[in-house]
Chain A
């Protein structure tokens, strides 16, 4: 498929923007001025000022002489460039690949887009009228190459469209400056009387190179499509992205759901063909007022099940604020992974792991991730460190679970108790926990658990399993040893 490019030229970018912001300036001559070498120089002039001959580069004093009532505003350097980037972002509703083309243009790669608007001329008209509706004066052109589109937008007729492969004919009547040449080359061409491209386009390459250098041939090649030319899109292209422009701005939750469903269906079809699934995705809506709203989801394992992904997004749809309406929806797969085949080894029967993973994704989407844990053993001494959370849904334990007796209900923080102990190293006869006296009838222990000397030093813990008169079973420990300071006693858990 041939590439098609659209070049936009904002004839009075910054002044138009100022007039949009201050409607009282509309239709009045005014200029933006900045200081250069101690003189106030016109940087940009409005349409009306331009018509009276006040061009950028003249001194403000001259402009005042031509038109005494002219209003002068200070120019902010870099403002025009920022404005261009904002406009390039706005143009994303027309094509996914748009770029700022400083100082005053935009370049859009529109390959495969215009048919959605019913052809290139309708597309061009729609784009230009949308921008003119905002208050910008623009000229636009479509061609096969960046160079030809650039030339036609600035030097051709308004709304010029070069047919596929027709850039050569379109360029013939244009002046040489349409080729984006250096001023030295332009002067040379002028001196030799080359006023139109048709006068030198058929000259042998060797002659042109000798006279004007490689630059002219290179630019000519770019305009004709012999040389490759690339540009930096304002938004890097996401490989897994689907877009859905809307005829009317969408404002209802139902409408958003339908858009999401459509996008998910197309993206998931593509992903399942490639054997891939989404781990992280963002659903964006470009609003009429120029803002972007988005919701993001993540999954525990790669999935290309549109129903499941839709449920995850559906929990967050109420967070999207449509305001005056959303014009363009896009769905991007930020993180795409290979879909894993079901792990039969780990979950032998029933329990389809994909279905469980989907359930966990749904819970995670509602509650926030970090709430669900599978635990795996960890080779550490102290009980509270002997488990760790599994990193992924399919991770298997790398060591076996310890066989030692552990309470089912472990207190997150050991609670201090006061005890009565008949002899050192004996279990207590009774202990008091939170004001309740517990008489110990039977006991097991001690099980000594040392500090991990490679991490920290300190006294060991001696654990006892004890049982009271009612049958309640507790896990107590003594921190420290009798004879070496005063040991402390703690309750650390309840046995079942």
Chain B
């Protein structure tokens, strides 16, 4: 029995070493960053903490999905910017409407938007931004990202400890890239108490498709302006049918 627990400890230690070799450094003291309150999502990440100082890839196909992804990104940014700091939002054209960021806990004047008309320049700008240690996070709205390019971005964040979010809208190919996670966020109908008209808080189906050293999963999360709440399927299904009945 004793030998067994030794083995488990040894395995855990080896896993940590491998992760360190792969460029992923666990947060200090094995405590997840207090800024990020992601609720049920924490269990999916290695060491129970959202991988900061890494790149995260988000995929969207429709404009609604893009807006939902941007919303989820805004929530993450809001949590990261809680203690001040500064972030960059890069894209080929202006896409985010700054006043809407307030709803997700981001002070819109803390975000610098950069419009880069050419994708090639966008990659350069993204790499420069990820190298800047003074930033908290960088969001790059880029359509195509090759493997070698993603490796360059990975090297940049490993040195600067900046968190990078790459939002790829309607990408042509979905091959593997050197990112810590790959997400797909889609909107799902909002919830309102029975009989109430109107729209509720935004609800997203957050899909963690790939996560390095973690467990992928699927959650339905509602953002109520303070934090995430998980929405459960049965309850939701009931609520939707109820809503439809009310509306008809």
Contact = CB atoms under 8 A, between A and B. Distances in A.
Interface of A: 347-356, 359-360, 362-363, 366-367, 371-377, 383, 386-387, 390, 396-397, 401-403, 405-410, 412, 441-444, 465, 467, 469-474, 493-496
Given A375-B108, A470-B64, A406 B125 contact: no
A351 B100 contact: no
Interface stretch (B21-29, B68-76, B148-156, B173-181): B68-76
Which of A348, A366, A406, A408 neighbours the largest number of chain B CB atoms within 10 Å of its CB? A408
B86 A351 contact: yes
Given A409-B67, A470-B64, A372 B97 contact: no
Contacts of A376: 109
A371 B205 CA distance: 33
Interface in B191-219: 192, 197-199, 202-205
Interface residues of B, number: 63
A360 B98 CA distance: 19
Contacts of B64: 470-474, 494
Given A350-B85, A366-B121, A496-B67, A408 B192 contact: no
A408 B189 contact: no
A408 B95 CA distance: 8
A74 B136 CA distance: 72
B85 A351 contact: yes
B112 A373 contact: yes
Contact of B109 (A360, A396, A403): A396
Given A355-B132, A407-B100, A473 B202 contact: yes
A408 B132 contact: no
Interface in B147-194: 186-190, 192
Which of B93, B100, B112, B135 neighbours the largest number of chain A CB atoms within 10 Å of its CB? B100
B134 A471 contact: no
A350 B84 contact: yes
B103 interface: yes
Contact of B187 (A348, A354, A473, A493): A473
Nearest to B102: A401
Interface in B110-151: 110-116, 121, 124-125, 128-129, 132-136
A352 B133 CA distance: 9
- Please give me the 4 A-B residue pairs with the lowest Cβ-Cβ distance, nearest first: A496-B71, A348-B84, A472-B64, A355-B134
B33 to A, nearest CB: 13
Contacts of A354: 134
A445 to B, nearest CB: 8
A444 B114 contact: no
Given A362-B128, A409-B97, 7 more contacts: A348-B83, A359-B135, A372-B113, A374-B111, A375-B108, A377-B99, A496-B204
Contacts of B114: 363, 367, 371-373
B52 interface: no
B128 A495 contact: no
A387 B113 CA distance: 13
Contacts of B84: 347-351
B62 interface: yes
A474 B104 CA distance: 17
A410 B70 CA distance: 12
A472 B113 contact: no
A412 B94 contact: yes
Contacts of A348: 83-85
Given A362-B128, A408-B67, A374 B83 contact: no
Nearest to A359: B132
Nearest to A386: B99
